[in-house]
Amino acid sequence: MGLFAKIKAGLKKTREEMSNSVHRMLHSFTKIDEELFEELEELLVMGDVGISTSEHICDELRRKVKERGIKDPNAIFDLLQETVSEMLSGGEELKVSTKPSIILVIGVNGVGKTTTIGKMAAYLQNQGKKVILGAADTFRAAAIEQLQVWADRAKCDLIKQSEGSDPAAVVFDTISAAKARGDDVVICDTAGRLHTKKNLMDELAKINRVIDRELPDADKEVLLVLDATTGQNGVNQAREFKNSAGITGIVLTKLDGTAKGGVVLAVREALDIPVKFIGVGEQLDDLQPFNADDFAKALFDRDPAEYKELENGEEQ
């Protein structure tokens, strides 16, 4: 299965829930008026796009309709795809050009942080990068063992200490090993306790001091992993982490298991943080680098079979 096919398959539930509802609604209008935009905004909100983001999208659509003199309600569908792509574009490329570069992965427990690290390592290795992992989540039971399983799957080295060790010391050891072995990318796991806890913030600050001292000129990404199934709660998590952890990007997991894929738009619009990767399945290669055009196309894809079925349903 190609990259676009994977993304399209992963967004199937969101497309069926939100995009097909939009298609039905547009199909029921004979002209473009304010009632159409109000109904569209409501459907976007129901798709976890968020109130303010949905308002912004509809304002953009009104502007484009007026500028281009569009009269056909069904043309709104393609405009919507175009607008979503524009909103999500910019900053999605992972910055790992220095040797070594470092990626710090943060997020609350249960969002798929450990599996994301393993899949990201596999992706980078497939890109020709030599990757080393650091098991700096030393507090959660079995976190180190789980990361070892993913390191083995991705065929990369893992630096670890015993449970309860100082996370910053693990990061230091991982950076030292990367320098000695000529690795390209260091990926470090971190504890997934609640972001409001002062000790976690202190821990992240200590880790960052180690990174800044040992790799002062390296490319550095701080990626927040969010579970797409949590919808707007994910936006709130991201807001809290942004205020205290210097996030450079988002990894959105479990998109294939939810109809709330619209939360990608809410995160980008509300926080101005680019999405770097999306998770669209359980396999090692199911973590995909984010591409705004592909995402918008997959979300609002005009699949003839799907829409013929929809229209037949409306006629019955």
Q: Is 110 assigned to a binding site?
A: yes
Asked whether residue 207 carries a pLDDT value surpassing 80, the answer given is yes
Contacts of 176 (CB under 8 A, 6+ apart): 214
**Number of alpha carbons in the 13 Å side-chain half-sphere of residue 120:** 31
Q: Is 260 assigned to a binding site?
A: no
What's the pLDDT tens digit per position in 17-57? 888 889 899 999 999 999 999 999 999 988 888 899 999 99
pLDDT band at 270 (very low <50, low <70, confident <90, very high): confident
Q: Is 191 assigned to a binding site?
A: yes
pLDDT at residue number 240: 78
DSSP labels, 14-83: HIIIIIHHHHHHHHT-SS--HHHHHHHHHHHHHTT--HHHHHHHHHHHHHHHHHHT---TTHHHHHHHHH
Q: Is 83 assigned to a binding site?
A: no
Q: Are 71 and 27 in contact (CB under 8 A)?
A: no
pLDDT at residue number 110: 83
How does the average pLDDT of the chain come out, rounded?
87
Q: Is 94 assigned to a binding site?
A: no
Give the CA angle between residues 34, 23, 273 to the nearest 5°.
Answer: 80
How much is the pTM? 0.87
pLDDT at residue number 272: 87
- The pairing of beta strand 220-227 with beta strand 275-279: unpaired
Domain spans of the chain, in order of start: 3-90+298-315, 101-294
Classify residue 230 by its DSSP letter.
G
**At 310, phi and psi to the nearest 5?**
-60, -50
What's the pLDDT tens digit per position in 211-256? 999 999 999 999 999 888 887 777 887 887 887 778 899 998 888 7
What's the pLDDT tens digit per position in 111-170? 889 999 999 999 999 999 999 999 999 888 788 999 999 999 999 999 999 988 999 999
Q: Is 48 assigned to a binding site?
A: no
**Number of alpha carbons in the 13 Å side-chain half-sphere of residue 72:** 6
Q: Is 253 assigned to a binding site?
A: yes
Q: Is 30 assigned to a binding site?
A: no
Q: Is 64 assigned to a binding site?
A: no
**What class does CATH assign to 101-294?**
alpha beta
C-alpha separations of 160 from 168, 172, 202, 238, 294 in Å: 11, 11, 21, 28, 37
CATH architecture of 3-90+298-315: Up-down Bundle (1.20)
